[in-house]
Structure formats: structure tokens, C-alpha cells
């Protein structure tokens, strides 16, 4: 709960610079409440910033980012070990008692960021080796991370409490009412505007730092996503802002699509090893900090999710002449294993018959990579009367993947809706299981006051079983259902909160 933040998560970190070390950070717990003994040196400030990233790697948070982005969509199927809460969620029977509606891990990251933002500037008076530029760079990371977390909250819950003050104990927590989506997004944009100005371009030559911490290019990626979410007929300028943010990444020459001519090499570089040239920002898991994906996707007896059985035929498609050799690399042995629908992107290894064991469950979680930038820009171009530019960007992603003719579409250059549906289909292939599908469809459906509501109905209820589809679609016809309920624990702890209208 936001009101029960574990303050020990204000972890003090020692950055390990030795190239012989496998991790770029080590944790050293310190009581975050003794502030008079802290915020004295640049090293402490740097450690507190890295502590924000540690809280971002929380297993429950990463699991929820997957569930929030995929469980209401059409990419996964359930198994006999899927939890009752997850089954209810997928069936549009989302209860305020469900642990999936808890936002405490998100607010824990936000609180750590607030702490850096609020107390970090005091280091400038205590440590003469810290410059204003260095301070601003640390603050830029904290503000960008806070913006990203609020962006998740506003897309998932709609209206949420806007907590901008650090809390070091339960006694000084503010009891807040919900803020409007517009007010939350204003803070998101303000934070990103600051971060864009002061974030560093890179952290040197160590890919673990450049991909595991937010650089200026990571800020541009978040901005592009946020601006596209906010854009519409009433705010066409946000399409331009999205394109501008994408162009800053594209024109930097610092990123590119990983070559797809060898599927094994592509998979190894992009997903199995991580931190590739295509990556912009990803959570750094390793053998000392495992992800939650083994029990979700890999454990033969306990995995809770599989790839939807229709994906190979209907999404990635197969070659009618030689289906075993000519394929979209993002399908079989890329995102999934076609023989049993294991979600391969997070559970697999470059050897198609070998699943990661629990000790090897350290596939990274992607926030943004270069393909995302290309397709975000394509969508903004489609709504800016730049249809050919949009198709060129789509085709660049498809060419790398060896996409098949069965998944090709031929929208009119002047039909933004048709181009958008093509982009949605391409994003489905490119970002399968990366926690983006529901948010992508919702963004496009709600555009221009839900002028494209029909995009929602085909994807919801696919896991609910026969006979429930129409009932679920009826629920989703009420746009208030597109956001989750506030968890009952939050409502109990904070009497200023009011349950989201659909769940009252």
C-alpha cells in the first residue's frame, strides 16, 4: 500500500566499478529515517539514486507490469496453475481485494525518487566535490523514473494520488485524495522536461550502466510514449512532440535494430544476453538478482501462462511453401516455442529445446528499445498526414524480422485508422509478452474520445472460456472498466480515497 511503504527500501548502494564484478551495484542497507546522518557526500547521493533502480527491480512490481499489460489482452493463455485472482482478472471480474490491484511497489519506487529529489540538493552544501551539473543529472534520473511510474499508474488506474513529498515513516505520510489524469500527466511531463535538459547522454562504455540507468535517450523514449498517449484531435501538437522525441533517438546514431539474419544470434544478443545496441532502458537482472519469470513461464509443473495457441497462425503466420524454414524470427524460437506454446522470450535459451532453470532466470525486463521508437514514431506520423513515413518505419521493423506476406497489410497512405491497425498488429508481433499489448490497444481505442472503441472488443475475454465473450465485451463497453479498482487496503488506510466509479 502507498500508506505502508517499507522504508528499508531506501537502500543505500555502493556502485561497483571493478570490471571483474558481474554486477554494477551491491546493496548495503541503511536506516533511511536517520536523515541527519545522511546526504553528506556525493557517493551517498549516487547510492540513493541507484537504490531507486533496486526498488524498480522488485519481483512483484515486474510481475504486475506484465499482468497489467497482458492479462486483459489476447497474447497469453491460462494454465491449470494460473491463480484464481489471475483467472478472475482475465475474465473481467476484477475485485478490489485482488493483489494484482495493489500499487504499493510502484509507490515505493516513487517514494525513493521523491527522497532523492527532496534531499539530494542538500548534498551540494555538504560536499564541495559535487557540482550543480552532477546534482541535476542525478535529479534527472529520479524525476524520469518517477514520471515512468506515474505513467504506469495513470494508464492502469486512471486517477491516482499524486504523492510528491518523501516519507520516511508512517507518521509523516500524507493522506491524499486522487488527482485527475490530467494533473498526473502534467507532473509526468514536467518531470520529463527537467530530465531531458539534465540527464546524461551516457554513463561511459559499460552497457550495463547505459541500458540499466536512464540516459537522456531513455527520457526521450518515455516522452514519446507519454506524448502519444496524450495526443488526439484536441491535442495534435503532441503527435509532433512524439515525433520530435523519437527523432532525437533515431538521429543520435547510438541505437539500431539487431541484425535478424541469424535468429539464434538475434535472440542471444537481444533477449538472452540483453544490453544490446537496440536496448534503450531495461531492468538488469542477473544471477544475484533473479526475475519472477521462471515460476510464471518456465517451471514445467507450475508455469501460470502460455502463449495463446492462435499466435503462430494468426499473428506471426507461417510460410505455406516451407513453414519449417521460412519464418518471422519473432515467432517460433523468438517469442514462443511453437511445439508447446512456452513463452520463450523470458523462459528460453538460444537452444530451442532448453528452458532456463531457476538459477538462470535473469532475462531482463524491457521498458524501451529501438524498435519501439520506430513504431511510436510511425503511429504519430500516421496521425500527422505522413502515411508514407509511417509505412517506411513499419517496413524497417518487418524487414529485420523477416515478416511474412501473410501478416502484411496495405493501408491507404491517407487512412490513419488503417495504418494504426497495421501498427498495432506489428507491435503485437514485435513486443509479444513485453507488457505493452493492453496499453497499446487502450491508447488507440481511447483516441479522440473513444472514437475507436471497436479495437477493444476483439482482444478482451479471450481467456474467459466459451459463452462469456459477449458478457465481458458488455463490461468493457463502459470505458470506466478500462482502469483497475483501488485495492481495498488503500481505501481502508486512506479515507480521502474514493473507489473508481465502475467498481462502486
**Residue-wise pLDDT tens digits, 29-58:** 333 434 667 899 999 999 999 999 999 999
Integer Cα distance of 501 and 504 in angstroms = 5
Q: Would the pLDDT of 14 be above 50?
A: no
Was domain 2-199+483-503 assigned CATH 3.30.420.40? no
Helix (H, G, I), strand (E, B) or coil at 208: helix
What percent of the chain has pLDDT above 90? Answer: 85
The kind and range of the H/E element at 13 are strand 12-15
CB 217, CB 201: distance < 8 Å: yes
pLDDT higher than threshold 70 for residue 13: no
pLDDT grade for 26, boundaries at 50, 70 and 90? very low
Confidence of residue 19 (pLDDT cuts 50, 70, 90): very low
Mean pLDDT, residues 128-136:
98
Least confident of 10-14, 134-138, 319-323, 454-458: 10-14
**Mean pLDDT across 287-293:** 96
What is the residue extent of each domain of the chain? 2-199+483-503, 263-283+291-367
Burial 329-359 (b: 16+ CB within 10 A, else e): bbbbbbbbbbeebbbbbbbbbbebeebbeee
Q: Over 60: is that where the pLDDT of 16 sits?
A: no
Rounded to two decimals, the pTM is 0.94
- The pLDDT, as a whole number, for residue 31 is 39
Check if the beta carbon of residue 238 is closer than 8 Å to that of residue 224: no
Using only the alpha carbons of the chain, give its radius of gyration: 22
Dist. CA 444–CA 452, nearest whole Å: 7
CA 10 – CA 45 distance, rounded (Å): 12
**Count, residues in the chain:** 504
Distinct helix (H) and strand (E) counts, the chain: 19, 10
Amino acid at each position: 500500500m502507498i500508506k505502508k511503504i517499507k522504508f528499508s527500501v531506501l537502500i543505500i548502494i555502493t556502485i561497483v566499478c571493478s570490471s571483474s564484478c558481474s554486477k554494477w551495484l551491491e546493496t548495503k542497507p541503511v536506516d533511511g529515517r536517520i536523515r541527519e546522518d545522511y546526504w553528506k557526500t556525493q557517493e551517498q547521493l549516487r547510492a540513493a539514486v541507484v537504490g531507486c533502480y533496486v526498488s524498480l527491480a522488485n519481483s512483484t512490481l515486474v510481475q504486475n507490469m506484465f499482468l497489467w499489460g497482458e492479462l486483459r489482452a489476447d497474447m497469453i493463455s491460462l494454465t491449470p496453475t494460473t491463480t484464481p485472482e489471475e483467472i478472475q482478472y482475465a475474465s473481467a471480474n476484477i475485485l478490489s481485494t485482488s493483489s494484482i490491484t495493489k500499487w504499493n511497489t510502484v509507490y515505493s519506487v516513487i517514494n525513493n525518487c521523491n527522497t532523492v529529489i527532496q534531499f539530494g540538493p542538500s548534498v551540494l552544501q555538504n560536499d564541495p566535490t559535487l557540482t550543480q551539473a552532477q546534482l541535476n543529472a542525478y535529479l534527472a534520473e529520479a524525476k524520469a523514473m518517477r514520471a515512468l511510474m506515474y505513467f504506469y499508474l495513470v494508464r492502469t488506474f486512471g486517477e491516482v494520488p499524486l504523492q510528491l513529498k518523501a516519507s520516511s515513516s508512517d507518521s509523516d505520510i500524507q493522506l491524499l485524495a486522487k488527482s485527475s489524469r490530467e494533473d498526473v500527466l502534467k507532473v509526468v511531463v514536467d518531470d520529463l522536461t527537467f530530465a531531458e535538459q539534465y540527464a546524461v547522454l551516457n554513463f561511459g562504455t559499460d552497457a550495463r550502466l547505459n541500458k540499466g540507468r536512464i540516459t537522456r535517450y531513455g527520457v526521450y523514449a518515455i516522452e514519446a510514449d507519454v506524448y502519444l498517449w496524450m495526443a488526439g484531435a484536441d491535442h495534435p501538437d503532441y503527435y509532433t512532440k512524439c515525433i520530435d522525441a523519437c527523432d532525437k533517438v533515431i538521429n543520435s546514431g547510438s541505437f539500431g535494430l539487431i541484425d535478424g539474419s541469424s535468429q539464434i544470434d538475434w535472440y542471444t544478443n537481444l533477449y538472452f544476453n540483453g544490453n544490446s545496441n537496440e536496448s534503450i532502458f531495461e531492468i538488469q537482472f542477473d544471477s544475484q538478482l533473479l526475475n519472477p519469470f521462471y515460476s510464471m513461464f518456465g517451471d514445467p509443473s507450475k508455469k501460470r501462462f502460455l502463449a495463446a495457441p492462435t499466435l503462430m497462425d494468426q499473428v506471426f503466420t507461417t510460410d505455406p511453401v516451407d513453414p519449417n524454414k521460412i519464418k518471422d524470427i519473432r515467432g517460433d524460437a523468438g517469442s514462443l516455442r511453437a511445439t508447446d506454446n512456452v513463452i520463450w522470450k523470458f523462459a528460453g535459451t538460444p537452444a530451442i529445446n532448453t528452458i532456463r532453470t531457476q538459477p538462470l532466470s535473469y532475462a531482463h525486463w524491457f521498458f524501451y528499445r529501438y524498435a519501439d521508437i520506430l513504431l511510436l514514431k510511425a503511429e504519430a506520423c500516421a496521425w500527422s498526414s505522413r502515411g508514407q513515413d509511417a509505412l517506411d518505419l513499419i517496413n524497417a521493423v518487418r524487414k529485420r524480422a523477416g515478416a511474412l506476406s501473410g501478416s502484411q497489410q496495405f493501408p491507404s497512405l491517407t487512412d490513419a485508422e488503417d495504418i494504426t491497425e497495421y501498427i498495432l498488429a506489428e507491435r503485437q508481433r514485435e513486443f509479444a509478452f513485453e507488457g505493452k499489448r493492453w496499453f497499446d490497444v487502450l491508447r488507440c481505442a481511447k483516441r479522440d474520445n473513444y472514437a475507436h472503441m471497436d479495437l477493444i472488443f476483439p482482444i478482451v475475454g479471450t481467456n474467459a472460456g466459451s459463452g462469456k465473450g459477449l458478457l465481458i465485451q458488455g463490461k468493457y463497453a463502459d470505458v470506466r472498466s478500462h482502469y483497475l479498482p483501488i485495492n481495498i487496503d488503500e481505501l481502508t488506510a486512506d479515507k480521502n480515497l474514493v473507489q473508481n466509479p465502475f467498481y462502486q
